[in-house]
Amino acid sequence: MTTAPILDVKGLAIDFDTRHGPARIVDGLSFHVGKGETLGIVGESGCGKSVSMLGLMGLLPNKARVTAGSAMFGGRDLLKLRKRELRQIRGGEIGFVFQDPMTSLNPVLTIGAQLAEPLIYHRAMSRAEARGRCGELLELVGIPGAKARLDSYPHELSGGMRQRVMIAIGLACEPSLLIADEPTTALDVTIQAQIAELVTSLRQRMGMSVVWITHDLALLAGLADRIVVLYAGTIVEDAPVDELYRAPAHPYTRGLLASIPRLRAQGGAKLAAIPGTPPEAGRRPRGCPFAPRCPQVMPVCQSETPRLEAVGGGGHRAACFASARIQESAA
């Protein structure tokens, strides 16, 4: 008997208004997140990772809008809820950790005041009750001298500590799903590892699900259960993490994996790079969007768009006409 996913997204499409008309940024995303699962969403900048999550949460900028799809969470379609209903879920049942804590935290409010806000709003706690819980949350995310830090301002904390505060805010109401939007991008590799380890331990302790957005496939190796690879606003591959590393079925995924620095690389060896750049929003080429950069391109790739289909077993899917041949060469 399979358990229903905690989040089930189907056919998500997001358009941006431009002076030339609407531009499709996210095109038909369909994925799910299982209970207690960590799903990694990876891709280059501008591929639609962050904007797709912001769309689910009703946090898109004014010029962007969701134009199609559904997102079932707890028996409700997030995309059809009123703003007031979505505010009850956002920060309560679904926590969100934003990319840059220095711009996400209010510089003129103390850490305690910002951490208490979701507790007062979603849990109807008094300020005294919320302050006590805030100290516990800072201890939970490993901030030394937690209670004393409640009266600190964001600029008085290091980058790593600010990110821990953001995680504490996301976890304040014990959500069943935590969305972490590139939470380690601005941190050095040591702090990145600490934050990733922290989120993993908290997920196991609290039994929550996690969506981790990143451009770093190496980071996801020890963090995610399953990975979705985005390119130009579409899913090009979706697989369990071990399967994705063992036998990638899309040339874009292979390119991302090849660009990861290796500890045992030969001296002077250059990092592999994917030639070219992703297409501009609203200007995808006909056929496969990756075709202009693909080393495996065939005539069919330039005239037809590949569908996301099963490759082998174990829930591995890829959108490539040459996926079987690519997998064979990677094995």
* pLDDT tens figures, 8-50: 999 999 999 988 888 899 999 999 999 999 999 999 888 899 9
- 143 — phi, psi (to 5°)? -90, 120
pLDDT, residue 18, reads 86
pLDDT, residue 265, reads 58
Q: pLDDT > 70: what percent of the chain?
A: 95
pLDDT, residue 216, reads 85
Q: pLDDT > 90: what percent of the chain?
A: 61
Domain ranges (residues) in the chain: 245-261+285-331
Q: From CA 221, how far away is CA 219, in angstroms rounded?
A: 6
Q: Helices 159-171 and 127-140 meet at what angle, rounded to 10?
A: 120
Q: From CA 42, how far away is CA 239, in angstroms rounded?
A: 12
Q: Helices 251-258 and 323-330 meet at what angle, rounded to 10?
A: 30
Are the C-beta atoms of 79 and 23 separated by less than 8 Å?
no
pLDDT, residue 112, reads 95
Contacts of 321 by beta carbon, 8 Å cutoff, 6+ apart: 288, 298, 300, 301, 304, 306
Q: From CA 142, how far away is CA 159, in angstroms rounded?
A: 14
With cut-offs at 50, 70 and 90, classify the pLDDT of residue 190.
confident
- 114 — phi, psi (to 5°)? -75, -35
Mean pLDDT of 289-306: 92
Q: Between 227 and 196, whose confidence is greater?
A: 227
- Using alpha carbons, list the distances in angstroms from residue 159 to 33, 143, 154, 187, 195: 29, 12, 9, 7, 11
Q: From CA 78, how far away is CA 209, in angstroms rounded?
A: 17
With cut-offs at 50, 70 and 90, classify the pLDDT of residue 78.
very high
E strand or H helix that includes residue 84: helix 83-89
- Residue 317 half-sphere exposure toward CB, CA atoms < 13 A: 17
Q: How many CB atoms lie within 10 A of CB 235?
A: 22
Q: Between 263 and 196, whose confidence is greater?
A: 196
Q: From CA 290, how far away is CA 284, in angstroms rounded?
A: 9
With cut-offs at 50, 70 and 90, classify the pLDDT of residue 1.
very low
pLDDT at 235 over 70: yes
Please give the sequence-ordered ranges of beta strands (E in DSSP) within the chain, or none if there are none.
7-18, 21-33, 38-42, 64-73, 76-77, 94-97, 177-181, 209-214, 226-231, 234-240, 309-310, 317-318
Encode pLDDT of 94-128 as tens digits: 999 987 777 889 999 999 999 999 999 999 999 99
Are the C-beta atoms of 97 and 103 separated by less than 8 Å?
no
Nearest Cα to 255, choosing from 232, 271, 234? 271
Most confident stretch, 80-89, 195-204, 311-320: 80-89
Model confidence, pTM: 0.91
pLDDT at 175 over 60: yes
Q: Is 124 helix (H, G, I), strand (E, B) or coil?
A: coil
Beta pairing class for 64-73 and 7-18: antiparallel
Encode pLDDT of 253-268 as tens digits: 999 998 887 766 566 6
pLDDT, residue 268, reads 60
Identify residue 272 by its one-letter amino acid code. Answer: A
* 177-181, strands of its sheet edge to edge: 94-97, 177-181, 209-214, 38-42, 226-231, 234-240, 317-318, 309-310
Identify residue 87 by its one-letter amino acid code. Answer: R
pLDDT at 314 over 90: no
pLDDT, residue 269, reads 65
